[in-house]
């Protein structure tokens, strides 16, 4: 059961890195669109929401989307201000943030 929980906990990282790979390899547009939207609206929040001690699924879902969109927007703005904004750079930074969050969660557990 622990292995399944670990796999589910690492899913945001896998999705984030898959989206970065799909964009780097310029895969077909529908695949890229689905993965990029999943990363922008779900992955960062899902990797951070473990801090919330709530059992309410609706509250967690709203927080996941809000955190994800906020972090993705923040990353895009910072990269834009630094004049290095590309979609691939933004996805890579978000993937690194997801990896760090999940790693910290695993170290804490």
- Which residues form the domain of 38? 2-108
* Per-residue model confidence (pLDDT) at position 24: 95
**pLDDT for residue 34:** 93
**Structural domain total, the chain:** 1
Confidence of residue 5 (pLDDT cuts 50, 70, 90): low
Instruction: Give long-range contacts, CB 8 A cutoff, 24+ apart: 58-66.
Output: 65/41
pLDDT (mean) for 6-19 = 85
- DSSP classification of residue 25: T
Produce one character per residue of 71-103: b if its CB has 16 or more CB atoms within 10 Å, e if not: bbeebbeebeeeeeeeeebbbbbbbebbbebbe
Q: What's the pLDDT tens digit per position in 19-70?
A: 999 999 998 999 999 999 999 999 999 999 877 777 788 999 999 999 999 9
Residues 6+ apart with CB under 8 A from 32: 19, 22, 23, 26
């Amino acid at each position: 059961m622990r292995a399944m929980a670990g796999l589910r906990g690492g899913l945001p990282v896998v999705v984030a890195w898959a989206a970065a790979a799909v964009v780097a390899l310029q895969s077909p547009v529908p695949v890229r669109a689905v993965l990029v939207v999943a990363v922008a609206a779900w992955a960062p929040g899902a990797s951070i929401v473990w801090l919330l001690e709530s059992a309410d699924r609706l509250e967690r879902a709203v927080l996941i989307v809000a955190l994800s969109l906020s972090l993705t927007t923040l990353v895009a703005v910072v990269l834009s201000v630094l004049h290095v904004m590309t979609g691939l750079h933004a996805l890579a930074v978000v993937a690194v943030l997801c990896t760090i969050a999940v790693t910290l969660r695993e170290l804490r557990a």
